[in-house]
Amino acid sequence: MQNRYTGDVGDFGKYGLLRALCAADTSLRLKLGVVWYLIPCETHNEDGKHINYLRNVTKAATARLKNCDPMLYDGLRKLFINDRNEIVTERRLVAAIESSGLLPSGTAFYDAPLSYSRQMPTSDRLRLRSAWLQGALKATASADLVFLDPDNGIECKSVGRTDLPGPKYVYWEEIESFVDRGQSVVVYHHLNRSCPSTEQVEKLQTEFCKRMPDDFKTSVIIYRRGTRRAYFVVAAAEHRVVLVNELSRMLARWQDHFLN
């Protein structure tokens, strides 16, 4: 995750999903934890500019989005659009989302930055990453459902955890660190051009099935506004009924924007 993406059309789907999964009756509602995998903002491309949906309030496409979660849309617009209908760039920070109240009450956040300098030895990178993960585990210890939000998604063969771009990825051992203590997880994955989207999803779904405990069930949905991204919902046995039911209700409202 990079601060410059905060509030864009991809984030609208992300927050909508998390709000929906934790929207059950009070007695059943799952407590949410968010691990941002926050890296420094890059400047070599124009990513993160897909936020005009918050300005184009009269467009039919915007109305279809807003109708999925009007409270979320209005809240994001209030955060990032001023009275002159201009984007307020300096407000685009994950800290603004944390303090906004748009994610469920009691959500535990971990926003410690994760990055390596070019001069940092491999051993120091490994120690930094390990300490960062321990901080994430500690911050979300009381959560039932933990959302992992890496910039690029799930690890690939060409990038190791201590490589310079390593902080852009979540690694299987990190996912397993949360699952092994009984938490359900949602994992973000940016669909890339390495192979067709359906093939990427199938490969990752197979890997989840191999790596997750037998009593965990993995579902996947694809958000198709902006660039396509997949969300893998890994449900622990005790959370499965709630997550399956809430995901089904959410997809009924968001059927124009999510695929499953």
State which residues of the chain have pLDDT below 50: 44-45, 47-48
Q: Is 205 exposed, middle or buried (0-12, 13-18, 19+ CB in 10 A)?
A: middle
pLDDT (tens digit, 9 = 90+) per residue, 96-120?
999 999 999 999 999 999 999 999 9
pLDDT for the residue numbered 43: 63
Residues 6+ apart with CB under 8 A from 34: 18, 103, 107, 108, 109, 110, 140, 146, 147, 149
Spacing of C-alpha 66 from chain mean position = 19
pLDDT for the residue numbered 45: 47
| Cα–Cα distance measured from residue 225 to residue 10, given in angstroms and rounded to the nearest whole number | 6
pLDDT for the residue numbered 215: 93
Q: Is 186 exposed, middle or buried (0-12, 13-18, 19+ CB in 10 A)?
A: buried
Q: Which DSSP category does 87 fall into? A: B
pLDDT for the residue numbered 26: 65
pLDDT for the residue numbered 162: 94
| Cα–Cα distance measured from residue 85 to residue 88, given in angstroms and rounded to the nearest whole number | 9
Number of folded domains that form the chain: 1
DSSP string of 122-146? HHHHHHHHHHHHHHHHHHTTT-SEE
**In degrees rounded to 5, what are phi and psi of residue 172?**
-55, -40
Q: What is the domain range of residue 143?
A: 3-259
- Would you call 159 helix, strand, or coil by DSSP? coil
Closest CA to 222 of 214, 230, 210: 230
Q: Residue 26 belongs to a domain with what CATH number?
A: 3.40.50
pLDDT for the residue numbered 234: 97
| Residues 191 and 200 sit within 8 Å (Cβ to Cβ) | yes
pLDDT for the residue numbered 48: 47
β-sheet bridge partners, residue 189: 230
